[in-house]
Amino acid sequence: MRDLRTTLVQSMLHWEDAAANRTLFSGKLDGLRGKTDLIVLPEMFTTGFTMNTALAETMDGPTVHWMKVQAASTDAAIYGSVIISEGGNVFNRGLFITPGGNVTHYDKRHLFRFANETDHFTAGKERVVVEWRGWRVLLQICFDLRFPVFARNRGDYDAVLYVANWPEARSFAWSQLLIARAIENQCHVVGVNRVGMDGKGIHYTGDSMAVDPKGQVMASCKPATDCIAHAMFDAAALQDFRIKFPVGMETDDFELKV
Whether residue 128 lies inside any domain: the answer is yes
What's residue 237's pLDDT? 97
d(CA 245, CA 247): 6
Whether residue 212 lies inside any domain: the answer is yes
Quick one: CA dihedral 164, 168, 169, 170, positive or negative? positive
Average pLDDT value for the chain: 97
d(CA 252, CA 129): 21
Whether 68 is catalytic is no
d(CA 250, CA 5): 31
Mean pLDDT throughout 83-102? 98
Mean pLDDT throughout 213-239? 97
Cβ pair 30, 2 in contact under 8 A: no
- Please name the residues in contact with 72: beta carbons below 8 A apart, sequence gap of 6 or more: 99, 100, 101
Mean pLDDT throughout 66-74? 98
HSE-up of 224 (CA within 13 Å, CB side)? Answer: 5
> What's 84's DSSP letter?
E
Instruction: Work out how many domains the chain is built from and give that number.
Output: 1
Choosing from 117, 142, 187, 227, the catalytic residue is: 142
Whether residue 79 lies inside any domain: the answer is yes
Choosing from 16, 43, 57, 168, the catalytic residue is: 43
Cβ pair 159, 40 in contact under 8 A: no
Whether 221 is catalytic is no
Instruction: Select from 94, 102, 175 the least CA-distant residue to 138.
Output: 94
Q: What is the CATH number of the domain that holds 33?
A: 3.60.110.10
d(CA 257, CA 150): 10
Whether residue 255 lies inside any domain: the answer is no
**Band of residue 10 on the pLDDT scale cut at 50, 70, 90:** very high
Choosing from 16, 57, 108, 227, the catalytic residue is: 108
d(CA 228, CA 36): 12
pTM: 0.97
Which residue range is the domain that position 131 belongs to?
4-246
Cβ pair 170, 220 in contact under 8 A: no
Cβ pair 174, 192 in contact under 8 A: no
Look at residue 5 and give its three-state secondary structure. Answer: strand
Whether residue 98 lies inside any domain: the answer is yes
- Please name the residues in contact with 236: beta carbons below 8 A apart, sequence gap of 6 or more: none
High-pLDDT (> 90) share of the chain, %: 95
**Band of residue 250 on the pLDDT scale cut at 50, 70, 90:** confident
HSE-up of 255 (CA within 13 Å, CB side)? Answer: 1
What's residue 249's pLDDT? 79
